[in-house]
Structure 1
Amino acid sequence: MLEIMQKAKDIRLLVTDVDGVLTDGSLYFGNSGEEIKAFSILDGLGIKLLRDTGIDTAIITGRVSDLVARRAGELKISTIYQGREDKITALRELSGDCGIPLSQIAYVGDDLPDLAAIRAAGLGVAVANAHAFVVEHADWQTSARGGAGAIREVCELIMKAQDTLLDAWEQYL
């Protein structure tokens, strides 16, 4: 765990997939063709707390969804790469665009399209319900499933490593 904490200490940007990470991976379609996704409020508060410490968050997702843009807006996530199935190329572009080296980026994913990005990031994380091959190549695995607080866990890991977690919690006392 010491090695994970050292990697987390250097993180300046958290990048996350959507389906299976910010959501449980289920896709719901209504009779009128509308798409419905469920996002965890635990993850939302984790992202807010992390942002308040100066760590930004970005999204890279293979699908394109107005719901993702809406949720990102609610969470003040300004960098969203949608329709990007080649996640490693998108991650490298993001790294260049924001001037943050891959070694200072955490990437959270759940399935094979996330694998190269997980391996390239300074801290590669798989959610609890990630594919076994992805878990095998990740630096760390959450105990929470995607869409059920996994991102909150990652946010709190980074904040703990950077000694900002207790201050973030204490504001609620």
Structure 2
Amino acid sequence: MNEELLHRAQAVKLAIFDVDGVLTDGRLYFLVDGSEFKTFNTLDGQGIKMLMNSGVRTAIISGRKTPVVERRAQNLGIQHLYQGREDKLVVLDELLGELGLGYAQVAYLGDDLPDLPVIRRVGLGMAVANANDFVRRHAHGVTHARGGEGAAREFCELIMHAQGSLEAAQAAYL
């Protein structure tokens, strides 16, 4: 495992996720009545729950706004949800002010250009495997898994491994 990523992950107190292309495969599904749906990966959901149980706070920042994301955040118990916010760096600063945290204590997982300012600012800024090439080149690291296909789980487990909480979380299921 990449030593630099592990070192960066040790300080993480807050993990932030983009939605489309990170917690989903990036496709948008619109029904005839105008409503939309998204598919989420249960492996990612379990990883987020494990990360929260280890003491790391979680947040979602999405440029789009949809009730589906609100419901997913509620189902997982994600504490901080920001939707319809295109300037994610402004949201990050608001959230850090509220929580009393610094950039080095934040991990962010994104996939496209609107995520890049946050990826570059935080202590651990990562991109999913199928992220935009420019974003992947400027991230601290890139997951092996694609967005919506376990990338968030991989990200969560990296943080937990670095902080020494992964094995205990997994052993609870033995």
Q: How high is the TM-score relative to the length of structure 2? A: 0.98
Q: What percentage of aligned pairs have identical amino acids? A: 55
Post-superposition CA distance 1:3-36 (Å, at most 9, x none):
1101001100000100000000000001111101
Q: Indicate the residue corresponding to 2:48 in structure 1.
A: 47
Deviation at 1:93, TM superposition (A): 1.1
Work out whether 1:164 is the aligned partner of 2:165.
yes
Q: How high is the TM-score relative to the length of structure 1? A: 0.99
Q: Which residues of 2 match residues 56-95 of structure 1 at below 5 A?
A: 56-95=57-96
Specify the code of the residue in structure 2 equivalent to 1:112: L
Instruction: Quote the Cα distance in structure 2 between the aligned partners of 1:56 and 1:73.
Output: 14
Q: Indicate the residue corresponding to 1:138 in structure 2.
A: 139
What residue ranges of structure 1 are gaps of 5+ in the alignment?
none
Instruction: Quote the Cα distance in structure 1 between the aligned partners of 2:161 and 2:82.
Output: 28
Deviation at 1:98, TM superposition (A): 1.1
Deviation at 1:78, TM superposition (A): 2.1
What residue ranges of structure 2 are gaps of 5+ in the alignment?
none
Count residues in correspondence.
Answer: 173
Instruction: Quote the Cα distance in structure 2 between the aligned partners of 1:72 and 1:42.
Output: 15
Deviation at 1:80, TM superposition (A): 0.6
Work out whether 1:27 is the aligned partner of 2:34.
no
Instruction: Quote the Cα distance in structure 2 between the aligned partners of 1:160 and 1:78.
Output: 22
Q: Indicate the residue corresponding to 2:148 in structure 1.
A: 147
Instruction: Quote the Cα distance in structure 1 between the aligned partners of 2:119 and 2:5.
Output: 14
Instruction: Quote the Cα distance in structure 1 between the aligned partners of 2:170 and 2:135.
Output: 31
Instruction: Quote the Cα distance in structure 2 between the aligned partners of 1:22 and 1:126.
Output: 12
